[in-house]
Amino acid sequence: MIISLRKLTYEDLKKQLSKEDKIVVWACNNCVRFCDGFGGRDAMNNLADQLEQDGFNVIRRELIGMSCVLDLVHLRAIEDATREFFEQATVIIPLTCEDGLDNLKMVFKGKKIIDVPKTVGLGILSTDWHTLRLTIPFEDTGLKPTPEGMPLEEAAKQLGIYAGPFVTK
């Protein structure tokens, strides 16, 4: 399973937004959902709720099975049920892996796509650990692979980034 972490805190994210933005919070419901809750329905709704409470204009919450599949992302831009929202949107906040981020940038040219994810390697979910662990870090991270893996919070700490969903309060 792909392991993705967050590059930004909630405060960092807010600094990239304006109250005039029309925001879509886009969440993948596959790998990143298991990355300490970085993606998925709950993370999407919690982030969107907090942004709205802070006075930002969230016009859509978009949950997709796999953002890494370009055709699925493209369908959101052209389907009757979603096209209008993406035409109106000025900003998309991706709770995805880096492949999902790249697909959003490819499909929604002209939209501001916030650079949130950092994909750091491959991991495994074990009933023994009750959590996802990074077992095969990508070489550019400088982290060492281990059979028992590394908790995502520890990997994030070593990389100077963040694990899990946006913490707002």
CA distance 124 to 147: 10
Residues of the chain with CATH 3.40.50.2300: 2-118
Task: Report the CATH fold assignment for 2-118.
Answer: Rossmann fold (3.40.50)
pLDDT value at residue 19: 96
Burial class (CB in 10 A: 0-12, 13-18, 19+), 110: exposed
Query: 161 or 125: which carries more pLDDT confidence?
Result: 161
Percent of the chain's residues with pLDDT above 70: 97
Query: 151 or 167: which carries more pLDDT confidence?
Result: 151
CA distance 61 to 160: 28
Weakest mean pLDDT among 9-18, 36-45, 87-96, 122-131? 122-131
Digit-coded pLDDT (tens) for 127-162: 776 678 999 999 999 999 988 899 999 999 999 999
Summarize the confidence of residues 27-54 as an average pLDDT: 94
Does position 169 have pLDDT exceeding 70, yes or no?
no
| DSSP H or E stretch at residue 42 | helix 40-53
CA distance 166 to 93: 12
